[in-house]
Amino acid sequence: MGLRGPLPRRRSATIASPADPLPPPSWLPGEAAAVWREHEPRLRAAGRLRPEHAETFGQWCSCAAEARELANVVAAEGSTSRGPHGTTPSAAHTAACRLRATMLALGKSLGLDPASAARLDAMPPPAGEERDEVAEYAARRGKAESTNTVEYKPGATVLDLIGRTTP
């Protein structure tokens, strides 16, 4: 179903964010590292930037730095160019539009837009705090977790599985 449908219910426990600042990756160029240092404190404070997100955030910072550079080029040269077939979008304008799409996709995984932020706020905590969702659901329903399992055999139909009782 994708991203359609209601948002998951918010978790009561908030996700703890790392206390120490995350340094920019060594492969990040100078301007992109500046973008990293500009946005890292807010994302870390919101619990959306953990060490496992560093690669994605680094890519987003790299795209943001390139987008700023392209915005300067478009401002200086304009967003169109004239050629033998008339007026067309300039190469810088086209590249900037593609970068915006890439930044949007990367930003969604980091919760940089309102819809993805709401979804990330409702997500379970990071690894290390594993939950048994089936047991939690059964507890909410007031029932013990079912241990009845049906063994799947190749060639079995749905009717075979439905008609069988617990082995």
Closest CA to 53 of 24, 20, 10, 13: 24
In three-state secondary structure terms, 150 is coil
Per-residue pLDDT of 69-124, as tens digits, reads: 999 999 998 888 888 888 989 899 999 999 999 999 999 888 888 888 777 665 55
Residues 129-147: tens digit of each pLDDT: 556 777 777 777 775 555 5
pLDDT digit string, tens, across residues 43-70 = 888 878 888 888 999 999 999 999 999 9
| CB of 48 closer than 8 Å to CB of 36 | no
Do 57 and 36 contact (CB within 8 A), yes or no?
Answer: yes
* Dist CA 156 CA 153 (whole Å): 6
3-state SS record for 41-63: HHHHHCCCCCHHHHHHHHHHHHH
Q: What is the number of alpha carbons within 13 Å of residue 128 lying toward its C-beta?
A: 4
The tokens describing 147, both together, are 């241990």
Sequence spans of domains, the chain: 30-129
Q: Say how far apart CA 10 and CA 7 lie, in whole Å.
A: 8
| Strand ranges (E), the chain | 80-83, 86-89
The upper half-sphere exposure of residue 16, i.e. CA atoms within 13 Å in the direction of its Cβ, equals 6
68, exposed or middle or buried, with CB in 10 Å at 0-12, 13-18, 19+? middle
CA-to-CA dists, residue 75 to 71, 79, 161, angstroms: 6, 8, 66
